[in-house]
Amino acid sequence: MTQWCFGPSFIDRVYVATGGSCVPISQQSSILSGADNNDGDDLNLTIQQQQQHTLLLSQTFRQATCRQLGGQWSGGHDVSGHCVMLIHASLFLWEELSWVFYSIPAATQLKRSQPTAWRALLAVLTLLGLWWWMLVMTAIYFHGHYELVSGTFFGVFGWAILYLGLFPKLTTIGLPSQSL
C-alpha cells in the first residue's frame, strides 16, 4: 500500500540512483536454470518484441515489478533491507526499554508488583536477542560488507530522525512516569 501511495521503496530508489536498472534475464540462463518460459513463448519472440520488452524493463523502478516482468536487477548498490529493518526496529525497542537500564529499582519493583508486565518485558528482551541473532546470520550468509554498512546507516538514520529530532520537539511524548 505504501508503494501505491509513495512510489518505490527507498531501497529501490537507492538502487536505481546508484546506477541499478532492470534488465532482461538472458534466454540461455533461463533455459539452464529450468525457469518457466510460458511454454517456450519467450524463446520465439521477434527482435522487435525483445526490444520492446527490454525498453519496458529499463523503465521499471521497483524490484518486484522487474521480477514480474521477467527481468532482474543489475548494477547499482543493494542496501540490506534486513539490516535496515532489524536495526531500526531494535533501536526503537531499546529506546522504549531504556528506563529499565537507567532505573534498576523500578525494574525490580515491576517484577514484584506486576508479574505480567515483567513477563512482557522479558518477551521483548527475548525478541531483541532473536533479532540480534538474525542480524548476525544475515551478515554472515546473505550480504557483503558495503550492503551491511549502508543498511546499518539507514537503520540508525531512521531511528535518529525520530528519537533525536522529532520526538524531543513534541510536548506530548516523554519518559514513562516514575510511579512504576
- Distance, CA of 143 to chain centre: 13
- Which of 77, 88, 143, 145 is labelled catalytic? 143
Residue 104 half-sphere exposure, CB side, CA atoms within 13 Å? 0
Active site residue 82: yes
- Which of 53, 82, 88, 145 is labelled catalytic? 82
- CA–CA separation, 123 vs 117, rounded Å? 10
Q: Give pairs for 170-178: CB < 8 Å, separation 24+.
A: 175/99, 176/99, 178/103, 178/106
SS3 (DSSP) at 21: strand
The residues assigned a catalytic role are 82, 143
